[in-house]
Amino acid sequence: MARILYIQTSGIDMPERLYAPFVLAMTARATDMDADIYFMIRGVTVVKKGAAEAIQVGNFPKLSEMRDQAIAAGATIYICEQSTQLLGIPRGDFIPEGKVVGALTLNDLAVDADAVMTF
């Protein structure tokens, strides 16, 4: 099975960039591809509890709805531990579906992926 890795580096200060990994992950899952989304740098702010509920751009649904649909479809959410430390965000502040992981995990995911996209 093909695997796609989406890397989200943009944070809540750039809401128009936040929908893409969720939409693309849902699309990948609908076509029987594995989809992983790795949040790093300011991207970790997107998966803080309550953050996505406050974001809606244009006619799109709230970002939290897109996130929940991607997770329900089978996308895996990874949160960069080093980025959380850089920004001073405690581990318990993130959505429970997200796995806080180290840099080695990103390298492993990238090597195992058939394609990598960054947002």
3-class SS letters over 89-107 = CCHHHECCCEEEECHHHHH
Find the CATH number of the domain harbouring 81: 3.40.1260.10
**Rg of the Cα atoms in the chain:** 13
The model's pTM is: 0.97
Mean pLDDT per 10-residue section of the chain, whose length is 119 residues: 98 97 98 98 98 97 98 98 98 98 97 98
Q: What is the pLDDT of residue 73?
A: 98
For residue 52, the enclosing domain spans 3-118
Q: What is the pLDDT of residue 88?
A: 98
Helical ranges in 7-48 per DSSP H: 19-30
Total tally of structural domains belonging to the chain:
1
At 117, which helix (H) or strand (E)? strand 115-118
Q: What is the pLDDT of residue 24?
A: 98
Specify the 3-state DSSP secondary structure of 85. Answer: helix
